[in-house]
Amino acid sequence: MAVQTEIKTYLNYINGSWVSSVSNQVEPSLNPANRHDIVGYVQRSTLEDLNAAVAAAKQAQASWRKRSGVERGEYLYKAARLLEQRLDDIAETMTREMGKTLAEAKAETMRGVHILRYYAGEGARKVGDVIPSSDSEGLMFTTRVPLGVVGVISPWNFPVAIPIWKMAPALAYGNTVVLKPASETAVTAAKVIECFHEAGFPNGVVNMVCGSGSVIGQGIANHPDIDGVTFTGSNAVGKQVGRAAFERGAKYQLEMGGKNPVIVAKDADLDLAVEGTISGGLRSTGQKCTATSRVFIEKEVYEPFKAKLLERVKQLKIGNGLDADTWMGPCASESQLNTVLSYIEKGKAEGAKLLYGGKRCLDGELANGFYVEPTIFEEVNLQMTIAREEIFGPVLALIPVDSIEEAIRLANDTEYGLSASLYTKNIGNALQFIQDIEAGLIKVNAETAGVEFQAPFGGMKQSSSHSREQGQAAIEFFTSIKTVFVKASE
């Protein structure tokens, strides 16, 4: 009889120490590929735990902000080295905890390494400008100062990249951090924080408190000693966070949903468009805010595009992300699976034609996980639920159009504006798309999903609070500008 390995309990990280919640309560983090596999136990924290973390961050911030940017960057370099050394373990944990394939998890973890190194270098870059003064004897310039304590509320779909792309610039610019990771991926988050701990960050500079969004997430939004809140998640929760932060005068940054379109022009390379649509819409089981959801195809190529798409989708291997031949893993949780299935049922009930998929996978070992077939609809009009609401699952809606102009108009008919892509060989089509599409991230002949760490990222309309993350644009949120005028006295 096999010996059951003891399942580890992961603690909060407050003021440089790993500590249990005062609630003495934990919850299991389940493997979505096998609901009987517990990845670890994580804390169900209280406001008392959050208060302790914020107090530690507030006390540490006074000395952390006085360190030079170069010195702060050295800590980020150390964290990057540790993260890279532990890449395999953290990626495997991510796959077990969230479900994405191991190849995707390794790429995401390496992206975290690159982000840390990028912001480590920010400490040596300029933070202001000299501005001509109307007084010939005066010197006027700008500099930047940190916000203070930053609360980070991160989602489960990118449990390494998103916390790091929020924490790294916050720390580089002199803020201290309190992270609330998604409970579904809190074990992965704990392993990331271990890298910060072993990099030797001063006590209180980095903190992590695990728990429910209604308690810890809302507590961060409400906390009087948190000066800035950066959030990625759903629109409904994001708006609650934004309202709470606004009412008490805190700075806030919200990255929320998307209903991202692909437009396929009649002159497009159809093989390239098919691969980009599948990768953008179905990889990571469609659980990306930039995932492709609606596909607008010029009528001249609608049928050949559809045939190629169906042929390719039928070849996709669904299974445990730890298996080398798996292309698409499970939904991240049972609740997410049920959400996706409910949208599929709405699509059928509202008259969309189901071309492929649409069911939960129940064959063999797949029955133990939260798997759903990649799903393709056609005969979709823009008033249907599946054409308007974010599904966050592997569901594509095919919509024929008469022209690029019609495609852009229909693509813009949404409350969201995160990402969009066009497949074409015509430079005129590309320029029209770039000018007229209402999205913060636009691509030509590339999938909607994914953004490079050195480039600004964010959406328009209801997809964000109109700030930008990543790249040098991050400084705009995590700092405030001081304008300085200096003149010698007589």
The bridge status of strand 292-298 relative to strand 260-264 is: parallel
Residue 464 near residue 256 (C-beta atoms within 8 A): yes
* Residue of 104, 184, 255, 373 marked active site: 255
> For strand 353-356 and strand 416-417, is the pairing parallel, antiparallel, or unpaired?
unpaired
The CA-CA-CA angle for residues 426, 291, 294, to 5°, reads: 60
The amino acid at residue 477 is: F
Active-site residue (options: 289, 298, 447, 469) = 289
Q: Which one-letter amino acid corresponds to residue 405?
A: E
Contact 135, 487 (CB under 8 A): yes
Which stretches does DSSP call E strand in 101-249?
Answer: 130-131, 138-146, 149-153, 176-180, 206-208, 228-232
Q: How far apart are CA 297 and CA 406, in angstroms?
A: 10
Structure-token match 């961050």, residue found:
57
Length of the chain: 490
Map residue 109 onto helix, strand or coil.
helix
The phi, psi pair for 181, rounded to 5°, reads: -80, 160
Residue 207 and residue 141: Cα distance in Å, rounded? 34
Spatial contact of 360 and 341, defined as CB atoms under 8 Å apart:
yes
> Catalytic site residue 289?
yes
Cβ-Cβ contacts under 8 Å for 342 (sequence gap 6 or more): none
Cβ contact 485:138 at 8 Å: yes
Is-catalytic flag, 6?
Answer: no
- Is the distance from CB of 29 to CB of 42 less than 8 angstroms? yes
Residues 6+ apart with CB under 8 A from 295: 261, 262, 264, 277, 281, 396, 397, 398, 399
Residue 212 Cα distances to 43, 140, 204, angstroms: 9, 47, 22
Judge contact between 332 and 355, C-beta under 8 A: no
Backbone angles phi, psi at 149, to 5 degrees: -100, 130
Place of tokens 């999903």: 449
Distance from C-alpha of 6 to C-alpha of 162, rounded to nearest angstrom: 30
CA distance 157 to 170: 21
Looking at the annotation, which residues are catalytic? 255, 289
